[in-house]
């Protein structure tokens, strides 16, 4: 029981993202630089960091392609010191990045030699992992001590290798950020009644008042918070929106320009 409790105390919650190609990606900083995107890959014997990404932070490999990272920090705060990684670009990453299949640039793989030192709980529905350090030092994997790295066992490796040469597709454009109106809705009553507007917010400036009932956004009827959020979800700062409200039996239409910030 005591050991369980101390084990839990050392647990680190690590957020991750599922890529469009169904890979689990954890962000990591190397020597406090980054973040870089790593696939969590039980099919990889060791950790890999691409040559290209290594170059951007001045890493160099020894004659066998190894590089010792002084500090390897996973998002969430798990730190490994003096961790040895292969500084090379696994062929499936060439393909994935070349064709922008992941929806993000990928910089490496986290493999067995780091994974096996932890109990790793993965919850895809929540996009969180919990890593708990174990008192366990895995045996160094066979066949990777020299140059003959078997690489990762990506199921689509052969395919990736084939398409790796077609590096035509660009990574996705950076995302836009939804704008903010500063309108607070009374929660839990079903109807969209304005509770208040934040000081100097677009909603405040446009004259929206507490008690106003929101009927439509950009001519779409909004009967619930879910519907309102659905209509409003892709409107960035600066892009004008039209709001129809009911105030004292009068329907008013107002135009607002969403602001920046959360």
Please give the residues from 115 up to 174 whose contact with another protein meets the rule CB under 8 A. Answer: 115-116, 119-125, 127, 134-136, 138-139, 141-144, 150, 152-159, 169, 172-174
Is residue 140 left, alpha or beta, with left meaning phi > 0 and alpha meaning psi from -120 to 50?
beta
- Indicate whether 111 belongs to the interface with another protein (CB under 8 A): yes
Scanning the structure block, which residue is given the tokens 């040469």? Answer: 165
Is the dihedral angle over the CA atoms 131, 157, 102, 80 positive or is it negative? positive
Contact positions with another protein (CB under 8 A) in 240-259: none
Residues 23-62 that bind another protein (CB under 8 A): 23-24, 27, 29, 32, 35, 39-46
**Residue 166 corresponds to which tokens in the numbers above?**
């077609």
Residue 35 in tokens? 């973040």
Nearest distance in Å: CB 249, another protein:
24
Quote the tokens at residue 204. 């405040």
The partner residues of 129 in beta bridges, in order of sequence, read 14, 122
Q: Closer to another protein by CB, 14 or 94: give it.
A: 14
47, 182, 216, 244: residue in contact with another protein (rule CB under 8 A): 182
Are 232 and 178 within 8 A, CB to CB? yes
C-alpha 262/C-alpha 257 separation (Å) is 15
Q: Which stretch binds another protein (CB under 8 A): 3-11, 49-57, 79-87, 96-104?
A: 96-104
Q: Which residues contact 57 (CB under 8 A, 6 or more apart)?
A: 30, 31, 33, 34
Which of positions 59-78 make contact with another protein (CB under 8 A)? Answer: 75-77
> Among residues 16 and 54, whose Cβ is nearest to another protein?
16
Q: Which of 59, 104, 183, 206 binds another protein (CB under 8 A)?
A: 183
Residue 82 C-beta: closest distance to another protein, Å: 19
Pairing of strands 194-197, 183-185: antiparallel
Total residues at the site for another protein (CB under 8 A)? Answer: 92
**2 vs 174 by CB, closer to another protein:** 174
């Amino acid at each position: 029981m005591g050991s369980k409790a101390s084990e839990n105390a050392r647990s680190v919650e690590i957020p991750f993202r599922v890529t469009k190609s169904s890979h689990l990606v954890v962000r990591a900083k190397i020597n406090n630089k980054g973040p870089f995107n790593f696939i969590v890959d039980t099919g990889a014997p060791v950790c890999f960091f691409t040559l290209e990404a290594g170059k951007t932070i001045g890493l160099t490999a020894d004659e066998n392609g190894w590089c010792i990272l002084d500090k390897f920090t996973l998002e969430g705060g798990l730190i490994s010191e003096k961790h040895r990684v292969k500084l090379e670009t696994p062929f499936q990453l060439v393909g994935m990045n070349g064709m922008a299949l992941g929806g993000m640039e990928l910089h490496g793989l986290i493999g067995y030699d780091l994974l096996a030192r932890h109990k790793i709980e993965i919850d895809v529905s929540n996009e969180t992992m919990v890593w708990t350090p174990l008192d366990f030092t895995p045996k160094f994997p066979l066949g990777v001590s020299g140059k003959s790295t078997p690489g990762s066992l990506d199921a689509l490796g052969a395919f990736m290798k084939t398409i790796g040469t077609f590096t035509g597709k660009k990574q996705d454009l950076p995302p836009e950020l939804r704008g903010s109106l500063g309108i607070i809705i009374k929660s839990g009553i079903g109807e969209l009644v304005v509770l208040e507007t934040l000081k100097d917010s677009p909603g405040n400036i446009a004259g929206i008042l507490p008690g106003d009932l929101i009927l439509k956004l950009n001519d779409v009827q909004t009967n619930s918070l879910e519907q309102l959020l659905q209509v409003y979800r892709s409107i960035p700062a600066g892009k004008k929106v039209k709001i129809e409200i009911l105030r004292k039996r009068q329907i008013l239409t107002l135009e607002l320009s969403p602001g920046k910030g959360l």
